[in-house]
Structures are given as C-alpha cells and as structure tokens.
Structure 1
C-alpha cells in the first residue's frame, strides 16, 4: 500500500538518518568519517587527545596528520598560524575584555616560554584576575604543572606541545564564560545507575568545540558510551556497502526520466555512475540528502557522535550500540520503494534548483541551535507530521527507550552516556517521553 505524504524539508530526515548516511556516502564521494590525529602518526601518546581537540576546535587543520611529525619543533609559520586561529576562535565568542590587562613581551623565539607568552597575550585579556606573568596565568589556571625550574621553558617547543598549550588555554577561556556548546542534555537515575542523554548532530564544524564543560564531565565520568551505531568501526562501512545494494539495478528501479535526472545531478557532484548503479532507493534517497556534505568532506569528522566515539576509544571506554547498522539499514529499506520514489522526486527538484543550498542553510541553522542548546528549535523541527519523519521516530523511539530501561534496571550500578540524534529526545513521543511513562524522572540539563 502506498502511503499518503505531506512532504517536509529533507533536512529533518537527513538529521535522523545521517548516522547511516555517512557510511553511504563513502563509496560515492570518498567522504568516510575519519578520526583526526588517531591514525599511525608521529605523535606522543600523551598528546593524542590534546592534538585531536585542537583540531576539532579549528586551531589546526584536519586531514594533514600523515604529513607532519608532531614531536619535532614547531615552525615560526605554524606558531603564527596557531596564534591567528586562536585569536579568531575566541573573538567569535564576543567575550568581555579586561581593560586593565597588560600584554607581556616575548623574545619572539621558538621556545616553550615564548609560546606561553603568545598564548597569554591572546587569552589573558579575557580574564579579570591579575597575574604577574604568563607562567603565573598558566599555573594558577592549572593549564601547566610544575614550577619554573622543571618546565624546560627555554627548550624549543614541539608542535604537539604548542597545540596542547593552545587547546588547554582556549578551552579554559571558553569555559570561564560558560560558552561551551550546550547541545540537548538530560539525566535520569535508577537502581544505582545513571544515564546521561545527549542529543547529537551527526555533522558539524569547529564551532561545536569545545562542548560544554558539564557535558564533557558527564562523558568523562561515564563507564560506557552508547551510540546509535558505531560509525567509526570499519566493519560498519562494509556492512553498509552490502546492505545498500538493491534487488535490481537502480536504472530499473526508477523510470528512465527519473534515473536520467539522478545521473545528471550525480555527474554535477562528481560521483561516478558505478558508485550508485546498484544502490537501493533507500540508499539513493539518503545519499541525495547528504549531498551538502560533499563540499565539506570533514563535516562527518566534526560530528558529535564521531568526536565522542574517538574520545571513548582514546580513553579505552567501552562502546555500545542502541541500535546497529544492520537494524538501521533494514529499517530504512522497509519503508518501501513505492514510498521512496516521491521523496526522491521532491528532493531532486530541490537539489536541481539550488545545488543543495537550502539543505546547507538548514543544516547551518540546526548547528547554531545545537550550540545554543535550543531544545525548542529541535522540538519544532521534528514535530511535523510528515510520514517519513514520523516513521523514523515513532518506530525507533520505543526501542531506544527499552534499551535504556534495561540499563537503568541492571544491577551494575554504572554511569552511561547515551548519544543519539537530537530529534529522538525532543520530538513528540520522544525517547524521554517513553521513559517518563515507565516511571523515570528526567532532569533537564540543557543550557545549564
């Protein structure tokens, strides 16, 4: 039976399906989500997380790790660039400046001491506390440990050391003004177990980071991270590739006119026909929905899920799945080819008209709402009544709630962070609503 549609903006569906869409894009656009600073790099083990965070904040480029030995001295150009990116990053927060701040003069060399002074001159003006010098600032804010005798201040600074100092200082300045990204964030407790709920955005940019201090503290104290599906697992991409195949070639599944339109659009984005020729209609729709990401191949890297997954792996924190790739792929396919066809037609028309601009603009609005912690925005966004959005939420939310109920009823007495798409926590009949119906009390932590 064919469903009756009230078509909604595809951005909603993209937000709900993008966890699997990221793996769908890999064959067509080679934009598979990768973790910055986590591969086989020339990087000291202690520095991996700091360098990763510096990249996520936009202080250092993502995707150039294999070309640089982080353990050797930083160049003057690199240090100048770090100073520029940190200055620009903090300026974007419009923090209040201390008019009595006095900058410190450095020797303009490449030592650890000079880098600390450079950073102090950037971040110190946003701090109302009086400091004697840059070292005093770093020590009192616990951004560096030890005393002047054992800090090797006159040693040449390595790139990983410089990135670490910048990451710590920028994060501290943002946290001092409570300006970390708020997301949508909740908590419940039962039977000695605690569950933190973080609604995610599957794609992002450096503006997301740092994430709110309270959220990161909850993540750090959690014994286990749960996500919809572990998109950083290479097996996941392999599963997606298999499950994406349709029962017949795409050219046979679509009318000649519609297939010609798909091919023309894919050609304009540089996707070879071989990458989608055998794709199911479910795979095609979700790939088309993800086209705005093509111009920003690192969008998936900056996604909240990816960031926390990478941090969990660096911390050797166990990772669980609320769903799985198999479940998500089957779920999307079960919507039915007859029901996907009008969605594809509608989305093609929009993409033909604006090359994905509307989707990109709406994605930007969603990112801004997440940074501000605007749960009302997400509630409005995902409470639309269109058939596919309801399908993506109504039939998944109860199962997610059931999984969380099992965690709360366990005898393990552990703390969990459960990260799923923001729509699952903010829509009507949300995961949280189902848990409330089960008798759980949900505490809202968003924006605090």
Structure 2
C-alpha cells in the first residue's frame, strides 16, 4: 500500500481544520429544499442556515411534505398522511414573526431520507440506499454505549445512514465526539492554531523543509489559485492538512457532510448534551509534537498523491459505506509501518478514549450514549473494541 493511501487513514482518525490560510469563501448561494426531485417554492421567506442547521418556514414545509403538527402535552407531534404520529425532538423558532423548523427533523420524522447537496446548497428529501458504516454496542451496569465509526468528510451518497445509526441516536441521552467541530471557528480555537501551527521564531516553512518539497507545495498552491508562499508562516503539519482539505473539497467530500457533523447537527436540534472525548488543544498538540522528519514525510505523501485524490478518497468512502471491517483493518495496519505516527494518532488516543468510554459504562446515571469517533480507532490489536474486550466488556457489532 502506498504512503498516500496510508495517509488517507486520517480521514477516519482526525479532523480537517479549515485554516485562516485559506482564501475567504465567496458569498453563499441561497439555500433550497427539494422533495422527490421537486424544489419547494417558498413565498417571501426562504430557508436559512443557523449554526449549521437548515431551517425552513414551517407552514410551507409541512404542506410540501403533506404532514401536520399537533401539541401533545409539552411535546410537538408530527402527524403523517397515513395517520402515523412521531414525536419531534426539536424546537419551532420564530424569526421576524415567521415560524421556522429544522428541515432534517421534520423530513426524517415524515419518513423521508434527508441529505445535503453541498454543490447546489440544497437539502434533498428522497430515498437513497445510503451506507452501512461501522457501529458497535456495549452494555454494562445499566448503561449502554453505541460506538459509531465516523468518516470525518463525506458526500451525499453516505446518506441515509443505516437505520441502526438513527435508532442508536434516538435512544441516546448523550452524544460523544472527539471534539465538537461545530466550534472550530471559535476565536480560542483559531488562536490555538496560530500558536501551535505557526512559527514563532521568525523562521518560515521554507527554512524547515527541503527545497524539493517546498517547490512541490508551491506548485500545488498555485494550481489552487493561491500564492506559492501562502503557507510560509505555517508548519508542515498545517500545510499537509490544508492541501488535504482543499483536495477533498474539490473531490466533493466535505467535513460539513461528515458523519460527526451530521450527528452534531441532530444533537443541537434536539438539545442533546454533547460530550468531548478529546479537545482541540490535545489534537493540535498531537500533530505539533510529530517529529520534523515525519511532518515533512506526511506532507510529501499528500503532495505526491495530489492527482490520485478522487480514486483514493472514493476507495475510503466505499469502504465505509459497505462497512468493510477487513478493508478498514488493512488501512489501519498501514499506519503501523511508521511507529511514531501510529502511536501518536492511534495507540495513545485509543487508550485515552477507551478510559472515557469505560467511565460512561460504569456511571450511576443508567444512561445511553452514542459515541462517534473516527472509524480507524476501533479495529485491530490496539483498537477500542479490543481494549474494551480486554477489560471484560462484550462488544457487539450492529
């Protein structure tokens, strides 16, 4: 397996942080909602995106889906055309005198599959085969933890998720994630990137990598419409992340469609507590602590695989959607070829996350948790599944 494919395991392991080094995005096009191939024509008020959640005017959305709402005590219940009733775990909001409601919550309750088409900025409600993914269940002491393996970037073909994912979310009291990526743009997190990812001693990237690597990086930046020195202030691990992010977006895969953010958005709609197994600081420190030699090697792997991004990310996507345990394990083992990289990105973090999961299993609350972390954390001798089994827990593949 080539180094480029091995580096792509990070799609299952760690976050792609959109950095301030990237050019400012153009003004977004309006958001639309499509049902069974037909665009909903709203009157004077269009759908909006608020904190990553798409909201649509209530009356027009209900009419297009042929459903109604009713109050049942303190709960809001959706009534489908066939008389089926579903309790909504969301809130109706009034903005400038108009009632809005999250499209995903209503669509899924009404029996539609809901996905986001980033290219057209359209919420699409339709039927789709979706993907099986990776999901396990652990029970102990009256507590249940569902372990969901994520791919941090995705596209609309990942959805709908297998019903077992949605059932696990519906039953959960808490959502656990590596870090809450909906907070990536918070000033304190951007400051961390500046402090850890930028040189503070007056040197630049050009002083820390070979002339050959620097030229390759500059050529790819130029192809993306950026100055060849656009990343000079940043360390190699930031440059690697930036190029990976740019290429993934061009291939049609985005963190905005990733499994993590999908559940984070649903949790916010439902006002479900979100708990973090790691922190932005711990993840950034992990990358920053990699040796200079490994940082440059990883950067070269991404640069050399630049033209193969479509095929390789498609491979990862199909692996996830088919729930291919053997394929995922093969990719995870590829990381073990570099002891430093494997220990930092997987071994050490798996031990820490397993400790957090054991804490949930032994809690006195008798609660249910959906824990969503990169899929590559789960399999193999150093994976979370094996670590839990070694501690005496029974882990069941869903």
> What TM-score, normalized by structure 1, do the two folds share?
0.66
Are 1:14 and 2:13 an aligned pair? no
How far did 1:228 drift?
0.7
User: Residues 289 and 347 of structure 1 are in contact (CA less than 8 Å); yes or no, is this contact kept in structure 2?
Assistant: yes
- Secondary structure of 1:139's partner? coil
Paired position in structure 2 for 1:415: 368
- Secondary structure of 1:307's partner? helix
How many residues were matched structurally?
346
Paired position in structure 2 for 1:260: 215
- Secondary structure of 1:226's partner? strand
User: Residues 328 and 376 of structure 2 are in contact (CA less than 8 Å); yes or no, is this contact kept in structure 1?
Assistant: yes
Matching residue within 6, 21, 25 for 1:27 = 21
Distance in 1, Cα, partners of 2:322 & 2:84? 26
Distance 1:72 1:382, change over 3 A: closer
In structure 1, list runs of 5 or more residues that go unmatched.
1-5, 38-50, 80-110, 118-135, 146-157
Mean CA deviation greater in 232-241 or 163-172? 163-172
Paired position in structure 2 for 1:44: none
Superimposed CA distance per residue, residues 38-66 of structure 1 (whole angstroms, 9 cap, x where no aligned partner): xxxxxxxxxxxxx9xx78999879x9836
How far did 1:261 drift?
2.2
Distance in 2, Cα, partners of 1:279 & 1:324? 21
Distance in 1, Cα, partners of 2:24 & 2:13? 19
Are 1:170 and 2:153 an aligned pair? no
Distance 1:310 1:317, change over 3 A: same
Paired position in structure 2 for 1:194: 144
Higher helix share: 1
Paired position in structure 1 for 2:327: 377
Distance 1:194 1:307, change over 3 A: same
Matching residue within 271, 288, 296 for 1:333 = 288
Distance in 1, Cα, partners of 2:252 & 2:130? 24
- Secondary structure of 1:301's partner? helix
User: Residues 155 and 252 of structure 2 are in contact (CA less than 8 Å); yes or no, is this contact kept in structure 1?
Assistant: no
- Secondary structure of 2:22's partner? helix
How far did 1:345 drift?
2.7
Distance 1:264 1:169, change over 3 A: same
Superimposed CA distance per residue, residues 232-261 of structure 1 (whole angstroms, 9 cap, x where no aligned partner): 013244433433213431121123332222
- Secondary structure of 1:396's partner? helix
- Secondary structure of 2:311's partner? helix
User: Residues 190 and 409 of structure 1 are in contact (CA less than 8 Å); yes or no, is this contact kept in structure 2?
Assistant: yes
In structure 2, list runs of 5 or more residues that go unmatched.
41-45, 68-78, 89-98, 115-126
How far did 1:409 drift?
1.8
Distance 1:278 1:141, change over 3 A: same
Are 1:138 and 2:56 an aligned pair? no
How far did 1:262 drift?
1.2
Superimposed CA distance per residue, residues 19-51 of structure 1 (whole angstroms, 9 cap, x where no aligned partner): 1x2x2445315579x9x98xxxxxxxxxxxxx9
> What TM-score, normalized by structure 2, do the two folds share?
0.73
Paired position in structure 1 for 2:393: 440
Matching residue within 288, 298, 313 for 1:363 = 313
Distance 1:188 1:245, change over 3 A: same
